[in-house]
Amino acid sequence: MTVITRFAPSPTGHLHVGNIRTALHNWLLAKQAGGRFMLRIDDTDAERSREEYVDGIRADLAWLGLVPDGEERQSARFAIYEAQFQRLVAAGRVYRCYETAQELDLKRKVLLGRGLPPIYDRAALKLTEDEHAAKAAAGEAPHWRFLLDHAEPIAWDDGIRGPQSFDARSMSDPVVRRADGSWLYMLPSAIDDVDMGVTDVLRGEDHVSNTAAQVQMFTALGAPPPRFAHEALLTGSEGKLSKRLGSLGVAQLRETGIEPEALIALLARLGTSDPVDPALDAEALAASFNLAHFGRAPARFDEAELHRVNAGVVHRLPFARVTHLLPAGMGEAAWDAIRPNLDHIGEAAEWWQVVTGPITPPALDAEDRAFLATAAETLAALEWGGEIWRGLTAALKDATARKGKALFLPLRLALTAREHGPDMAALLPLIGRDAALERLRSAS
């Protein structure tokens, strides 16, 4: 059986890190099994759905390299939902209700006051056809509920949470269609999963109660339920749910210099017992993806950790991957020299400015200025080549008896105006002989 997973966002806003994590895990699960990863746009909410958000979802997935193997849109599938809905009506598995939100709220309060579960009392099932006709004549349109089978056990072996069981008698029959004819989430989603051949549904633990009802919906539709797995939701580094996580999207991450490889490396392992490794690419992450490694504890997302992972990724990126992001004139040798000092690719421009100049070295004391004058004379007498830094420092050590920080720091300050930075053995050839001599003489 081909494994088929799906990512089903609603285009009512931009993807945030929680959405991206769900998409990634479904992509990894499918890729590991050689299966298919599907994108389903859940755009049944015509008022809130926007085409710009659909385009944004596709662009975000493309930036991450999570290319779907197919796409469906719920707004194009209303005829399918209607046909299945009418089958369920005929089978007595959905029924008409008329209570207002205020009436339902009052019923819940009464039940809670009696110490009873606040579930729907199925009062609408007692209505006669004459009473339905009277309501229709009065202009009352019904909403529709799915009739849970109280005799049918609800159980599944969750890929993360283990064996799960629910008593249908403790659950309200879920509303599946509004009075205006529009659809709520659960029934169209189940119909789509059957029609699309989805074998594995991996989503957040906030959907567990939805799954309990949908298990019976699959049976009513004449199909076996897919395999379900519900992962813990993301929390902020402070240990509680963060509003920022609900708004932190790809655009903001890109603006701060996060690379897609870093986001994938972190989110792939977040919530598991596996270490985050910036050296692993998507193929390696897919090969090692294992639902059994996910824990039940909330998965903590730390932006500082993401930036640390990003630095690890940047240090490994080949020149071909970053060429279009680098300043003009910066070649592969410069990238190889500079990248170990970068947290984000955008910082390369600062170091390229150090290489190309001009720079303003800090003021040095008389002793260091005299040392730099000697350094300029020594460099001028040396044959320029790839080992020029080694040759220069060796000659200066012999000539001045300086060593360690006293030897290297004044040279670095004069040549780069920085106390720290890339390896000078790689940086000095990039600066060039004439510029290096000019900087040493200027600092002396």
pTM: 0.90
Torsion of CA 214, 38, 235, 230, to 10 degrees: 30
Q: Is the pLDDT of residue 83 over 80?
A: yes
Q: Indicate the length of the chain as a whole number.
A: 444
pLDDT at 243: 65
Nearest to 269 by CA among 284, 248, 259, 251: 284
Place 242 in a pLDDT band, splitting at 50, 70 and 90.
low
Q: How is the chain split into domains, by residue range?
A: 4-72+184-233, 80-177, 319-355, 357-443
Tell me the per-residue pLDDT of 399-414, one tens digit each, with 9 for 90 and over.
999 999 999 999 999 9
DSSP state of 425: H
Say if residues 172 and 120 touch (Cβ distance below 8 Å): yes
pLDDT at 161: 96
pLDDT at 241: 59
Question: Residue 304's CB: how many other CB atoms inside 10 A?
Answer: 8
CA dist., res. 415 & res. 346, Å (int): 22
Tell me the per-residue pLDDT of 170-214, one tens digit each, with 9 for 90 and over.
999 999 999 999 999 999 999 999 999 999 999 999 999 999 999
Q: Is the pLDDT of residue 68 over 90?
A: yes
Q: What is the mean pLDDT of residues 105-121?
A: 94
**CATH fourth-level superfamily of 80-177:** Glutamyl-tRNA Synthetase; Domain 3 (3.90.800.10)
Nearest to 186 by CA among 71, 42, 290, 61: 42
DSSP state of 48: T
CA dist., res. 273 & res. 322, Å (int): 32
Q: Is the pLDDT of residue 236 over 90?
A: no
pLDDT at 118: 94
73: phi then psi, degrees, rounded to nearest 5: -125, 125
Q: Is the pLDDT of residue 392 over 90?
A: yes
CA dist., res. 38 & res. 2, Å (int): 13
Nearest to 263 by CA among 248, 274, 273: 248
CA dist., res. 31 & res. 29, Å (int): 6
pLDDT at 194: 98
Strand partners, 40: 72
pLDDT at 245: 76
Identity of residue 171: M
Place 239 in a pLDDT band, splitting at 50, 70 and 90.
low
pLDDT at 257: 95
* Average pLDDT of the residues of the chain: 95
CA dist., res. 204 & res. 234, Å (int): 9
Strands 70-73 and 94-97: unpaired
Say if residues 182 and 149 touch (Cβ distance below 8 Å): no
Please name the residue that has the structure tokens 């005799």.
151
Strands 299-301 and 234-236: parallel
Nearest to 160 by CA among 207, 128, 217, 196: 207
Q: Is the pLDDT of residue 240 over 80?
A: no
Nearest to 309 by CA among 235, 346, 356, 257: 257
pLDDT at 244: 74
In the chain, the percentage of residues whose pLDDT exceeds 70 is 99
Q: Which CATH architecture has domain 357-443?
A: Orthogonal Bundle (1.10)
Say if residues 250 and 15 touch (Cβ distance below 8 Å): yes
Q: Is the pLDDT of residue 238 over 80?
A: no
Strand partners, 97: 143
Nearest to 299 by CA among 278, 319, 269: 269
Tell me the per-residue pLDDT of 413-431, one tens digit each, with 9 for 90 and over.
999 999 999 999 999 999 9
Place 361 in a pLDDT band, splitting at 50, 70 and 90.
confident
pLDDT at 362: 85
Q: Which CATH architecture has domain 4-72+184-233?
A: 3-Layer(aba) Sandwich (3.40)
Considering only 199-203, 240-244, 308-312, which range has the smallest mean pLDDT? 240-244
- Detail the DSSP E strand segments found in 172-214: 175-177, 200-204
